[in-house]
Chain A
Amino acid sequence: MAEPETIAVPPGSVGEVAPQRAGFLEPLILKAGRTLAAYELVYETYGTLNAERSNAVLVCHALSGHHHVAGWHADSPKKAGWWDNMVGPGKAIDTDRFFVIGVNNLGGCHGSTGPASVDRATGQPYGAGFPVVTVEDWVASQARLMDRLGIERLAVAMGGSLGGMQAMQWTLDYPERIAHALVIAAAPKLSTQNIAFNDVARQAIVTDPDFHGGNFYALKTFPARGLKLARMLGHITYLSEDLLGEKFGREIRGADYGFHYEVEFEIESYLRYQGDKFAQVFDANTYLIMTKALDYFDPARETGGDLAKALAPASAGFLVVSFSSDWRFPPERSREIVKALVKGGKRVTYAEIDAPHGHDAFLLDDAHYHRVVAAYMDNVAREVGAGERRGPLIVGGTELEEMKGYAGKGAPA
């Protein structure tokens, strides 16, 4: 018997997927006052848009994310999308009933127009010339993509962290075009400490001698060291102290202290591994742009700090979710959002998930977390005429991606 040629699709997986591209020639006026004359967005879709076009779910990505949300690409069948445990047939975001769209944001480094793209005006990569883009700009560009896909109104926009901020922004900028927002592990604006961490990360990049003011593409060089440091720092903030302690403790390589400055503690090895891995696949200018978009996000800035007033235009229903051990955007920050929504009489459900993993918990397959999302989405499905769940909820499949690839001594299972 010959082996079948296609890879078996595991239960809950959308299977093999391929990215698509959409080009836009209509200029996009950015919040910074500059204009992108033309741009491309790369995206993926899963499931089927129903005849009423009422079942669309937009998944917005966070700092290092992209359009590849679920399934796998033909050239890397072992690498699942970043939210594959959440999106698929029978999963919390059930592609048997919803049409799911993942899009790489402007300024990104996974195919959409960004700093490494060639600027048509100069014939050179944008580099430092790529404009600073904001959450509002992303939402505006995503809305144009929805126009292109024939989606008048989203059933849901959702995301974790910076992705949750985009979902929130959707409800303010296009209240008539979104029925529900899932705002997960997010905040209504960054804290001083959040901005401080971001700036140290940016400084690590811009002070790398290979950065060349952001115009390093033509020089065939890359500020890998700075980007690695930025990621190492960021990574610490994504995980809880307890989790790090549990995974690595004070484990050292060798029997005793070496009294040198090489890698010695396991946590050093782990962070450097993560930093190196990230620096190989991510763009330094994109990192600057993403962190800046985070820093600038503050819908209440135009209402004198009154978040309830800022959220006044929203007519969507909200599911807000936070995680107990998240110290980057802790539960108190989500409660600020909930409080403002309640003050404005908006529809909101708030779940605080008891999870030990820190900020990254939003990417994990905690069963209770997925059940809450699924329960909310099942009601959305009924509301938009997408029907009932066909089988039991499928939770997960993927582990914490960051932990998975680590192969150092004392590597986590």
Chain B
Amino acid sequence: MRTRFDFDLITSWIPEGARVLDLGCGDGELLAELVAQRRVRGYGVEIDPDRVLAATARGVNVIQMDLESGLEMFEEDAFDFVVLSQTLQAMRRSDQILAEMLRVGREGIVTFPNFGYWRHRVAIALGRMPVSKSLPYQWYDTPNIHLCTVKDFEELCRTVGAEILDERVLHGGKVVSALPNLLGSLGVFRFRRRD
């Protein structure tokens, strides 16, 4: 029972037995799947107590911790993959967490709601903040404080010294190949530290 479209793609990128750190792991669904399908050795990080409980119940390694205070808990290059799935947009300093991901992992995977999706653009053009399946909040109660477009994220990768290895934009569970920044609602990036 998969509830998130980006999980399939992430799972396809991660090889058997990899060391994985899942930042903002929620109830541990992705990590549990990676353990089951790829036999990864991994840890999830989560701040919300109820999600920590849910992840504990799933039997994955979950560490209750605030990502905003950095990844001091983890050593340099401790992981093959560091995943940040639909969490980047809710962080105070999205650039700093990206830099930390590059420090502790060989590769990073980030997924985020694409603010450039055409419905969002139309909403703005009509004078309203967008509310959609990928951004299901009102402007006043949203946890998403740093929304960006696919192009914005490409730019951020350059700024923090990340080399993009793969980028896909999804909509409704399918990869959008034409005009992705306009027609796709979910950005999925794979990158590594540029040497």
Contacts and interface: CB of A to CB of B under 8 A. Distances in A.
Q: Is chain B found bound to chain A in the same assembly?
A: yes
Interface of A: 319, 335, 338-339, 342-343, 345, 347-354, 368, 371-372, 375-376, 378-379
B15 interface: no
Nearest to A380: B59
A355 to B, nearest CB: 11
Contact of A349 (B19, B49, B56): B56
A343 B75 contact: yes
A31 B63 CA distance: 34
A190 B72 CA distance: 22
Contact of B64 (A342, A352, A376, A379): A352
A349 B63 contact: yes
B63 A342 contact: yes
A372 B43 contact: no
Given A342-B73, A343-B78, A345-B41, A368 B64 contact: no
B62 A338 contact: no
B61 interface: yes
Contacts of B19: 345
Contacts of B61: 347-349
A322 to B, nearest CB: 9
Given A372-B52, A378-B57, 4 more contacts: A339-B73, A351-B52, A353-B49, A379-B59
The 3 closest A-B pairs by CB, nearest first: A375-B57, A379-B59, A375-B56
A372 B75 CA distance: 27
Contacts of A350: 62-65
Nearest to A379: B59
Contact of A348 (B63, B74, B75): B63
8 contacts: A338-B73, A342-B43, A348-B63, A349-B60, A350-B63, A351-B56, A368-B49, A379-B57
B53 interface: yes
A76 to B, nearest CB: 35
A378 B43 CA distance: 19
A321 B23 CA distance: 20
A343 B79 CA distance: 10
B64 A351 contact: yes
B73 A335 contact: yes
A342 B56 contact: no
A354 B63 contact: no
A145 to B, nearest CB: 30
Interface string B25-66: 000000000000000010100000100110111011111110
Nearest to B47: A352
A368 B78 CA distance: 31
Contacts of A343: 75, 78
Contacts of A349: 55-56, 60-63
A342 B78 CA distance: 9
Given A348-B61, A352-B64, A379-B59, A342 B53 contact: no
Nearest to B74: A342
Contacts of A375: 53, 56-57
A376 B62 CA distance: 11
B56 A372 contact: yes
B22 to A, nearest CB: 13
B1 to A, nearest CB: 19
A371 B19 CA distance: 28
A239 B173 CA distance: 52
B21 to A, nearest CB: 9
Nearest to A308: B75
A136 B83 CA distance: 40
Given A338-B63, A349-B62, A352-B64, A368 B53 contact: yes
A352 to B, nearest CB: 5
Contacts of A353: 49
B193 to A, nearest CB: 20
A371 B53 contact: yes
Interface string B87-113: 000000000000000000000000000
Contacts of B56: 319, 349, 351, 372, 375-376, 379
Given A338-B63, A351-B64, A372 B53 contact: yes
Nearest to A368: B49
Contacts of B57: 375, 378-379
